[in-house]
């Protein structure tokens, strides 16, 4: 196993293997740890979380006969939503064993283990069969994945010929990327590395699209969902601030972890406000020789 994979596993487990109970204190009940989707600025977080999953399923035209792969599946929110609402098969991969335990327990409680598989697997070494999936989704995970070239190349291989892929990802403006490439890391970046996410980096949307195109994906639709992330982060921060005392009293996590998470969420709200981070949905399909399958003709096919 290569050194990068070991480092990534340790880095991811550092954050995601904290007790799920901790995340329940500030995320929505299904533990979506990525930007939700608001139709009104005062929508409750829970509704915005469901909107996001429903929008992604619509963009991917998820149906009963699909087998969907979720790369970086977290605590399985997309997996459960797709399996329960569409009856399709869903496989999720994550680097956190604690998340796998959580998903397996919940699937068996709900009696839908036959539709759901969850594996500890790195996005760099996905050992699925060629054309095993009709759809691939990755929500808030590529920020942790260092070799996107490798990941998109395997996505092309494991996706069926008329398959679709949706990438929900953060990115940064070119001015910040230029500094990053010159080796300049801000204090907030160093804090993030030390206390929250030891692995990962953000790149520009242009680089993500280029890597997808270089791996023979045709870009179908791109939606900027940045403002939805600002709203999502404000909800998470409010929730954590309200529950701070209770988390301290019950000793859910170490005091330093709790303070670091509060600071992290405050920093994220500011970063989005200051135009230093963006968030996008990119829908794409495999480029193939031969005839094109008809997709929705208008953007109505890609909105709620
Ligand atoms: C921010 S969470 C998002 C989780 C989920 N998709 C959601 O929206 O709630 C990132 C997820 O990506 C997973 N992840 C990070 N790096 C990964 C990698 N190299 N291979 C597979 N999964 C990875 C983490 O374990 C975690 O489950």
Please give the pLDDT value at position 303: 95
* C-alpha 290 to ligand 1 mean position (Å): 34
Length of the chain: 304
Domain positions in the chain: 3-286
Q: Is the pLDDT score of 191 beyond 90?
A: no
Check residue 8 and give its pLDDT: 86
Please tell me the distance between residue 17's alpha carbon and the centre of ligand 1 in angstroms: 12
Backbone region of residue 119 per phi and psi (left: phi > 0; alpha: psi in -120 to 50; beta: other values):
beta
* Nearest CA owner, ligand 1 atom 14: 72
Our answer on whether the CB atom of 33 is closer than 6 Å to any ligand 1 atom is yes
Instruction: Sort residue 28 into left (φ over 0), alpha (ψ -120 to 50) or beta.
Output: beta
Angle, helix 187-195 to helix 255-273, in steps of 10 degrees: 140
**For position 82, what pLDDT does the model report?**
98
Q: What would the pLDDT profile of 212-253 be if each residue is shown by its tens digit?
A: 999 999 999 999 999 999 999 999 999 999 999 999 999 999
* CA 35 / ligand 1 centre spacing (Å): 13
Strand ordering across the sheet containing 133-139: 116-120, 89-94, 67-71, 133-139, 159-171, 278-286, 217-224
Q: What is the mean pLDDT of residues 271-286?
A: 94
72 Cβ closer than 6 Å to some ligand 1 atom: yes
**Measured in angstroms, how far is the CA atom of residue 142 from the centroid of ligand 1?**
8
Q: CA–CA separation, 186 vs 201, rounded Å? A: 13
Q: Give the highest mean pLDDT range of 11-20, 121-130, 267-276.
A: 121-130
What are the distances in angstroms from CA 114 to CA 88, 107, 189? 10, 9, 42
User: What local confidence, expressed as pLDDT, does residue 288 receive?
Assistant: 84
Between 162 and 188, the more confident residue is 162
Which is the closest atom of ligand 1 to the Cα of 145?
Answer: 19
Are the C-beta atoms of residues 135 and 65 closer than 8 Å to each other? no
| Assigned token pair, 138 | 């990755």
Residues 6+ apart with CB under 8 A from 6: none
Q: Is the pLDDT of residue 186 over 70?
A: yes
Q: Is 123 in the pocket of ligand 1 (CB under 6 A)?
A: yes
Q: Above 80 in pLDDT, residue 198?
A: no
pLDDT in tens, 40-85: 999 999 999 999 999 999 999 999 999 999 999 999 999 999 999 9
CA distance 220 to 281: 11
Q: What is the CATH number of domain 3-286?
A: 3.40.50.150
**16 touches ligand 1 (CB under 6 Å):** yes
Confidence class for position 115, pLDDT limits 50, 70, 90: very high
- Provide the pLDDT confidence category of residue 1 given band limits of 50, 70 and 90: low
Match 């839908």 to its residue by tokens.
112
User: Ligand 1 centre from 236 Cα, in Å?
Assistant: 18
Average pLDDT of span 167-191: 88
To test ligand 1's pocket by mutation, which of 141, 149, 158, 169 has the most ligand atoms within 8 angstroms of CB? 141
Question: In ligand 1, which atom is closest to the CA atom of 138?
Answer: 6
Given a cut of 70, is residue 154 above it in pLDDT? Answer: yes
The pLDDT score that the predictor gives to residue 302 is: 95
Q: Which residue has the higher pLDDT, 186 or 64?
A: 64
What pTM was estimated for this model as a whole?
0.96
- What is the rounded average pLDDT for all residues in the chain? 94
- 184-203 mean pLDDT: 78
Q: How far is the CA of 139 from the centre of ligand 1 (A)?
A: 8
Task: Please report, rounded to a whole number, the percentage of residues in the chain having pLDDT higher than 90.
Answer: 79
């Amino acid at each position: 196993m290569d050194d990068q994979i070991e480092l990534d596993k340790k880095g991811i487990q550092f954050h995601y293997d904290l007790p799920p109970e901790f995340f329940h204190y500030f995320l929505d009940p299904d533990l979506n740890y990525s930007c939700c989707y608001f139709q009104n600025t005062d929508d409750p977080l829970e509704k915005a979380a469901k909107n996001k999953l429903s929008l992604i399923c619509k963009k991917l035209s998820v149906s009963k006969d699909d087998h969907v792969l979720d790369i970086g599946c977290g605590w399985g929110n997309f997996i459960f939503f797709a399996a329960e609402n569409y009856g399709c098969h869903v496989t999720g991969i994550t680097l956190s064993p604690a998340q796998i335990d959580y998903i397996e327990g919940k699937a068996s409680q709900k009696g839908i283990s036959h539709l759901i598989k969850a594996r500890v697997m790195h996005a760099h070494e996905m050992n699925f069969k060629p054309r095993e999936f009709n759809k691939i989704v990755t929500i808030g995970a590529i920020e942790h994945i260092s070799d996107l070239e490798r990941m998109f190349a395997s996505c092309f291989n494991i996706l069926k010929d008329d398959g679709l892929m949706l990438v929900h990802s953060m990115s940064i403006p070119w001015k910040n990327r230029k500094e990053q490439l010159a080796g300049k890391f801000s204090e907030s970046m160093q804090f993030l590395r030390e206390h929250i996410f030891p692995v990962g980096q953000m790149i520009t949307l242009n680089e993500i699209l280029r890597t997808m195109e270089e791996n023979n994906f045709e870009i179908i639709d791109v939606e900027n969902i940045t403002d939805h992330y600002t709203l999502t982060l404000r909800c998470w921060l409010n929730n954590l601030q309200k529950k701070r005392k209770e988390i301290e009293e019950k000793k859910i996590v170490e005091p330093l972890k709790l303070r670091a998470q509060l600071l992290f969420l405050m920093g994220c709200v500011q970063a989005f406000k200051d135009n230093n981070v963006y968030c996008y949905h990119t829908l794409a399909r495999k480029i193939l020789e031969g005839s094109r399958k008809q997709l929705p003709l208008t953007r109505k096919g890609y909105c709620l």
